[in-house]
Structure 1
Amino acid sequence: MLEEAAKLVVKSRFAIAFTGAGISAESGVPTFRGFNGLWKKHRPEELATPEAFEKDPHLVWSFYKWRMDLIRKARPNPAHYALAELERMGILKAVVMQNVDDLHREAGSRNVVELHGNIFRVRCTSCSYKENLKESGRLEAFLAERDLPKCPRCGSLLRPDVVWFGEPLPRKALEEAFKLAETADLVLVIGTSGVVYPAAYIPQIVKEHGGKVIEVNTERSGITPIADLFIRGRAGEVMERLMEKVRVMLNG
């Protein structure tokens, strides 16, 4: 199976990756769905909706600051590094991600499409102000602040720049992802449940346009029925072994 997958990767002229929570779980980032999901302790309607934020912004912000602190300590795993290496090789053209962490970029991926936002970015609830707290160097101070965060431009309440339940995906990111999927001759689907739409359409679009679908997952998902190859296993372990074969084929 790995041999077949490596051949498809090496033959590809325009590959993309579609990643979900499973790729970051090995880096210590809890998944929302799955055995140790965050929602085992918290109901999503209490913490990740516009209505919840309007009702109790203190509760929502305390949860998101906890998540920020947890995620900033995580480090990329071999699966993140494998995708970055494929991009450097010129095989992988983009990573379309459903996660809100920065692990793909930390591993070296440059063309990353964020479908669900970025947990280290905040935006104003009134004006167009946005800030990436990691890039601005204000993350430590932000996490230590006890008051609700306010916009430095207009004074309104800031919120996490992530997509909450019931909110649409950012149009620009979704359009870019769909365009990439229409062009791709291969998609590596790694660690996603394949049940969150419209994001889950991406592998289907690749398939409909004649591309191949390789899925790497610990269990079958909503994508498995259309996958040309399904490789069961942890993302980091599988991608590390896959890259060994890819390097041999390219240097052989």
Structure 2
Amino acid sequence: MLKAADRVVAFTGAGLSTEAGIPDFRSPGGRWSRMKPISFEAFLAGDEARRESWRRRFDMDDEIRLARPTRGHLAIASWVRAGKCPAVITQNIDNLHQASGIPADAVVEVHGNTTYATCLDCARRYEIAALREPFLASGKAPCCDDCGGFIKTATISFGQPMPETVMRRATELAKTCDLFVVVGSSLVVYPAADLPRLAHRQGARVVIVNREETPGDAYAELLLRGEIGDLLADFVL
């Protein structure tokens, strides 16, 4: 099916990166079972929420910094190199698709990226490493050197508007592919989880590679259950 397709889109979620040592958020024992997510509204409204958001980010710093692309990441990167896959849509924020060799402009990050931060007012970019020591020393949430605005990791929090340009591109990819491959996504976080259904409605074949059942299984043409690295090892181009 992969070799026969002309235009493949990979749509990836947290299950792809667990082999790299990055736990997902929703499974039992995951971060959301241990701590309530901090909404965008709360981040804007309170200094304590901003401090806690940054404390959590630096608490997971080693996981993100030391993680390396998995067998699944490398398999998907081979589809891009082979010219089969024009871009990867990902819900992941760990930058591992780029680390696998996929050009940054071919990675559509619908939930952003936690490996850098931006000022919410002037959009100045900040590197995480440069923010770590000042935060650990002072305990104060960082503010922009240029305009004084709040600095936040370049991720999309609950209640934060989805990036319109990114979502338009993801939608266009879903509409124009002939094979849509879901890898490691629970397909429960919207609006991104609607993309495979959209691809299906436009006539694309949908394949779901995941350890557990998803809401998209009903319209998938092929379901592959098991460890993602093991399954995708057979689909390297």
**Number of matched pairs:** 229
CA offset at residue 108 of structure 1?
Answer: 0.8
- Correspondence for 1:58: 51
Which whole-Å deviations, capped at 9, do the CAs of 1:96-124 have from their partners, x for residues lacking one? 00011110010011210010011022121
Report what 1:5 is aligned to.
Answer: none
- 1:128 Cα deviation from its structure 2 partner: 2.9
% of aligned pairs identical? Answer: 34
The AA in structure 2 aligned to 1:187 is F
Counterpart position of 2:93: 100
Residue type matched to 1:95 in 2?
V
Name the residue aligned to 2:110.
Answer: 115
Is residue 220 of structure 1 aligned with residue 209 of structure 2? no
Whole-Å Cα distance in 2 between the matches of residues 226 and 67 of structure 1? 36
> What is the rounded CA distance, in whole Å, between the counterparts of 1:188 and 1:155 in structure 2?
42
Check conservation: 1:185, 1:212, Cα contact below 8 A: yes
Compute the TM-score of the two structures, normalised by the length of structure 1.
Answer: 0.86
Task: Give the one of 7, 12, 28 matched to 1:19.
Answer: 12
Relative to structure 2, which stretch is displaced further, 151-160 or 232-241? Answer: 151-160
CA contact (8 A) 2:72 2:232 kept: yes
SS at match of 1:142: helix
Residue aligned with 1:123, SS:
strand
Q: Which residue, 153, 156, 180 being the options, matches 1:160? A: 153
Residue 129 of structure 2 is aligned to residue 140 of structure 1: yes
- The 3 A distance-change label for structure 1 pair 112 and 80 is same
The aligned runs of 1:1-252 (5 Å cut-off) are 8-44=1-37, 47-55=38-46, 56=48, 57-110=50-103, 111-131=106-126, 133=127, 139-146=128-135, 147-243=140-236, 247=237
Deviations 1:127-157 (A, max 9, x none): 23234x2xxxxx4332222242221221222
Q: Offset of 1:48 from its aligned partner?
A: 4.1
Residue 150 of structure 2 aligns with an amino acid whose one-letter code is L
Would you say the 8 A contact 2:39–2:159 is kept in 1? no
Please state how far the C-alpha of 1:52 moved relative to its aligned partner. 4.2
Seen in structure 2, the aligned counterparts of structure 1 residues 170 and 64 have a Cα distance that, compared at 3 Å, is: same
How far is 1:72 from its partner?
A: 1.2
SS of the equivalent of 2:54 reads: helix
SS in structure 2 opposite 1:11?
coil
TM-score w.r.t. the length of structure 2 is 0.91
Task: Give the distance between the partners of 2:23 and 2:41, measured in 1 at CA.
Answer: 22
Asked whether the equivalents of residues 96 and 113 of structure 1 are also in contact (C-alpha less than 8 Å), the reply is yes
Query: How far 1:50 moved relative to its partner?
Result: 2.7
Cα RMSD (Å) of the superposition? 1.5
Q: One-letter code of the match for 1:50? A: E
Matched residue type, 2:26 = R
